[in-house]
Each structure stands twice: as C-alpha cells, then as structure tokens.
Amino acid sequence: MKVLVAGGAGYIGSHCVKQLLAAGHEPVVLDNLVYGHRAAVAPAIRFHEVNLGDKAAIDRVLAAERPDVVMHFAAFAYVGESVTDPLKYYHNNVAATLNLLDSMLRHGVRKFVFSSTCATYGIPDRMPITEALLQRPINPYGQTKLDVENMLKSLAPATGLSFAAFRYFNAAGAAEDGSIGEDHTPESHLIPLAIGAAQGLRPELQIFGNDYPTPDGTCLRDYVHVDDLSRAHIAAFPLLETAGAQHFYNLGTGTPTSVLEVIQAVEKVSGLKVPAKFAPRRAGDPPALYADATKARTELGWTPRFQTIQPIVETAWRWHQAKPKGYGDR
Ligand SMILES: O=c1ccn([C@@H]2O[C@H](COP(=O)(O)OP(=O)(O)O[C@H]3O[C@H](CO)[C@@H](O)[C@H](O)[C@H]3O)[C@@H](O)[C@H]2O)c(=O)[nH]1
C-alpha cells in the first residue's frame, strides 16, 4: 500500500513509518516539523513539509501522491496544555483533520487510520476499559479526539470513507535498534522525564499527586510499546477494503502501572536514582486508565509483544543513551 503518514516525523508516526517499510509498504511523510524531527524519518522516504492548516498545500500533496491510505498522527497531545489552551486543540486536532479529510475525499482517497486516545473515556465507570464504555472526556485533548471520531462516523456512510480509529493508552518505549524514540519539545511525558532526571539532564521529577484512590496513591496507566501500536495500524488495512467500514479499537496491554512503578523500572534499568518529589495533582488527569484490548486481539490478531513496563523502559533507555546530541533542539 502507498500510505501517506500525516505526522510521520513525530513520535508514534515515525515508528509506524519504520514498520510500514519493514512490512513492504510505501510510506510518504507529511509533517510540519513543529513537533516532529526530520531526522526521525529515513532520508530515502518522500517528505512533504506541510502544515495541516494549509488547505491548498494538503491538496497539492494529495493530488501528487494519490495514496491508498492516509494515516493521521498529527495532533497536539499534551493533556496539561489542553486544559490551559483549548482553542489550540480545536485548531490543531479538529480543524486540521477536517482539512485533511476534505482533501482526501476530493481526490478519491477513502481509507483512513486515525490516532485516537483512551482520554476520550474520561473517568470511566469500570476498569479495564472496553470500547463499549461511554466516552465522557474530562479534558479538551480527549474531547477533540472524540469530536474527530464522531466526524468520521457521520462521514463514513455518506462518503464511503472507511476508517479504523485506535484509542491508544500510553504510548511508550522506542525502536529496539535505538534509532528513533520519544522526544517532545517541551517534554511532558513521564518516561522521558524520569530518564532525563536520572541522567542529570532534566530537573527533579515531579510526581503529580500521591492521594489518588489507587494502591500506592499515584495514577495508574497502561503503557504500550510504540512498535506494538504500529503493528495494529498495519493489521487494520484489510478492514479498510470495505467501503464505509467503521472500526474502533483500544490499544493497551491491560497491565496497570503506577507512576512510582515507572520510576522504579527506570531506576532498575539505568542503575541510577531518579530524583523525584511529590507535587499536587495535574489538572485533567484521571486516576486510572487501562485497557481491555480483547477486540483488537480477536479482530486484528493483535497481541502486544511488550506486556510489562520494564522491557518497555529498556528500549526507551537504549534510545536515550544513543540519541544524537542536540536531537530535540531547534
Ligand atoms: O512529570 C510528570 C509527568 C507525568 N506524570 C504522571 O505520569 C502519568 C503519565 O503521564 P503522561 O506521560 O503525561 O501521559 P498521560 O497524561 O497519561 O497522557 C498520555 O496518555 C493519554 C491518554 O490518557 C494520551 O492520549 C496522551 O497522548 C498521552 O500524553 C500521569 O499519571 C501523570 O500525572 C507525573 O507524575 N510527572
């Protein structure tokens, strides 16, 4: 398949591009490089430096490339910031996606894979989370992703668009060869911050809340390896052959891991101490989120190779050791 990967220079997108190549597909990357890194995409891959706010530019790319499938990873994904600047989230996560879909449909491209999130569930009534649970996001990040899911649902019957929307739990880890990994500027995610603190490259880690109703008082999350996520996207291609098909899948291991357990894993893997202190809760953080991914397992044959936090942190640690100096600078 020829696959246009929007956000292909970002964290999850770049890992997916690598997996697409390995599976014999033809990825083409579209990215504005505001958060992505050119160095995360192999030089041989065709690259369009385009902002999804620029409708004419997207149109030109779609007309020139005519891909079989579009995968869409380009979005803002920092939960804390979504609380302080929701408008930015509507521009970048909803309006930008509409531009992309509009252009796709005008050029007869009707297969779409969308990065959604477990943040669409908000604070769920039950755990683990199945796809059937009510979606009631508690931050604009989750809300904008749910808005796009709803947009896709209403477009599919009318336009023949077929799509798979993946509700990721916490994407984590790095390519096993250490070539690419997580690097956001500014960084807000737990594992890179904990590793940076251990290396003495970042300030002491703040643990956001130790009074949650969880076994050790810190939030529980479901950390899923980025290569496992990527494999699910590729496994969905056959489903997109049916015009108007709509698919939603949770992607997580089902293993709940607390913030303190992540810190312990980083200390064990690195042999270093993570300097950390307790801080107030962060707005918009649900106490616990972990997946029931039975649907992806049965319908896509998807089984995550990484089931627990330590081997995931091992890949992240390897990447942080290998990362070229200045990689995230701009
Ligand atoms: O400096 C930090 C950073 C994070 N945390 C905690 O660590 C956990 C994980 O946080 P983070 O790595 O920021 O991920 P989440 O906020 O859980 O958000 C991720 O998980 C969402 C689903 O909830 C995804 O959709 C988002 O893209 C992704 O950022 C949370 O309990 C945070 O409160 C800290 O204690 N200190």
Task: Tell me the pLDDT tens digit for each residue of 277-296.
Answer: 999 999 889 999 999 999 99
Q: Flag whether 185 is in a domain.
A: no
Residue 212 and residue 100 in one domain: no
- The ipTM, to two decimals, is 0.96
Same domain, 261 and 140: no
Please count the structural domains in the chain.
Answer: 2
Question: Cβ(163)–Cβ(156) under 8 Å?
Answer: yes
Instruction: Find the distance separating the first CA and the last CA of the chain, reported in whole Å.
Output: 33
Domain membership flag for residue 182: no
* C-alpha distance from residue 290 to each of 9, 208, 223 (Å): 27, 18, 9
Q: Which two tokens stand for residue 277?
A: 């202190």
pLDDT of residue 186: 84
Same domain (yes/no): 136, 82: yes
Same domain? For 87 and 194 the reply is no
pLDDT at 86 over 90: no
Whether residue 308 contacts residue 235, with contact meaning beta carbons closer than 8 Å, is answered with no
What's the CATH code of the domain at 213? 3.90.25.10
193 within ligand 1 shell (Cβ under 6 A): yes
pLDDT at 9: 97
More confident site: 261 or 86: 261
Residue 133 lies inside a defined structural domain of this protein: yes
Q: Is the pLDDT reported for residue 27 higher than 60?
A: yes
162 lies in the same domain as 259 = no
Instruction: Establish whether residue 246 lines the binding site of ligand 1, counting it when its CB lies within 6 angstroms of any ligand atom.
Output: no
> Do residues 288 and 214 make contact, with C-beta atoms less than 8 angstroms apart?
yes
Per-residue pLDDT of 154-178, as tens digits, reads: 999 999 999 999 999 999 999 999 9
Predicted confidence (pLDDT) at residue 84 exceeds the cutoff of 90: no
> Ligand 1, atom 30: nearest CA belongs to which residue?
219
Taking CA atoms, 140 is separated from 77, 80, 126, 223, 298, in Å, by: 10, 10, 22, 22, 31
Q: Is 189 in the pocket of ligand 1 (CB under 6 A)?
A: yes
Q: Which residues constitute the domain of residue 270?
A: 190-221+254-322
Q: Is the CB of 205 under 6 A from ligand 1?
A: yes
* Residues of the chain above pLDDT 70, percent: 99
Q: Whose alpha carbon is nearest atom 14 of ligand 1?
A: 189
Give domain status of residue 295, yes or no: yes
Question: Which residue type is seen at 132?
Answer: A
Cα 209 to averaged position of ligand 1 atoms, centre (Å): 12
Verify cis geometry, omega within 30 degrees of 0, for the bond prior to 304.
no
Task: State whether 36 and 155 are in the same domain.
Answer: yes
What is the domain-level CATH number for residue 104? 3.40.50.720
Look at residue 326 and tell me whether its pLDDT is greater than 80.
no
Q: Which two three-digit tokens encode residue 222? A: 């479901």
Q: How far is the CA of 1 from the centre of ligand 1 (A)?
A: 33
163 with 110, same domain?
A: yes
Task: Map tokens 């369009």 to a residue.
Answer: 48
Residues 137 and 273 both lie in one domain: no
Count Cβ atoms below 10 Å from residue 203 Cβ, excluding itself: 10
Q: Which amino acid makes up residue 263? A: I
Give domain status of residue 71, yes or no: yes
Residue 232 lies in a domain: yes
Domain end marker among 233, 251, 269: 251
Q: For residue 34, count other CB atoms closer than 10 A to its CB.
A: 13
| Same domain assignment for residues 243 and 263 | no
Q: Given the DSSP bridges, would you call strands 223-225 and 111-117 parallel, antiparallel or unpaired?
A: unpaired
Query: pLDDT digit string (tens) for 211-249?
Result: 999 999 999 999 999 999 999 999 999 999 999 999 999
Residues 214, 113 share a domain: no
* Pairing of the two strands 162-168 and 111-117: parallel
Tell me if 198 is assigned to some domain. yes
Tens-place pLDDT, residues 178-198: 999 998 888 899 999 999 999
Q: Is 170 in the pocket of ligand 1 (CB under 6 A)?
A: yes
* Ligand 1 closest atom vs CA 145: 25
Give yes or no: residues 159 and 286 share one domain: no
**Residue 252 pLDDT grade (very low, low, confident, very high; cuts 50, 70, 90):** very high
Structure tokens at 60: 């030109």
Does 329 have pLDDT greater than 70? no
Q: Is residue 128 reached through a cis peptide bond, with omega within 30 degrees of 0 on the bond before it?
A: yes
> 325 pLDDT exceeds 80?
no
Domain contains 33 = yes
pLDDT averaged over every residue in the chain? 95
Report the percent of the chain where pLDDT is more than 90: 88
Distance of CA 252 from the midpoint of ligand 1 (Å)? 14
Q: What is the mean pLDDT of residues 289-308?
A: 98
What is the pLDDT averaged over residues 102-114? 98
Report DSSP letters for 42-91, one per residue. -TTS-EEE--TT-HHHHHHHHHHH--SEEEE--S---HHHHHH-HHHHII
Q: How sure is the predictor about 134, in pLDDT bands with cuts at 50, 70 and 90?
A: very high
Q: Report the residue among 259, 289, 313 best suited for mutation to probe ligand 1: largest number of ligand atoms under 8 A from its CB.
A: 259
Report residue 330's pLDDT band, with 50, 70 and 90 as the boundaries.
Answer: very low
For the chain, give me the number of helices (H) and strands (E)? Answer: 11, 13
Last residue of a domain, one of 208, 235, 251: 251
Q: Whole-angstrom Cα distance, residue 228 to residue 272?
A: 27
Same domain for 160 and 261? no
Sorted by sequence, the CB contacts under 8 Å of residue 154 that are 6+ apart come out as: none
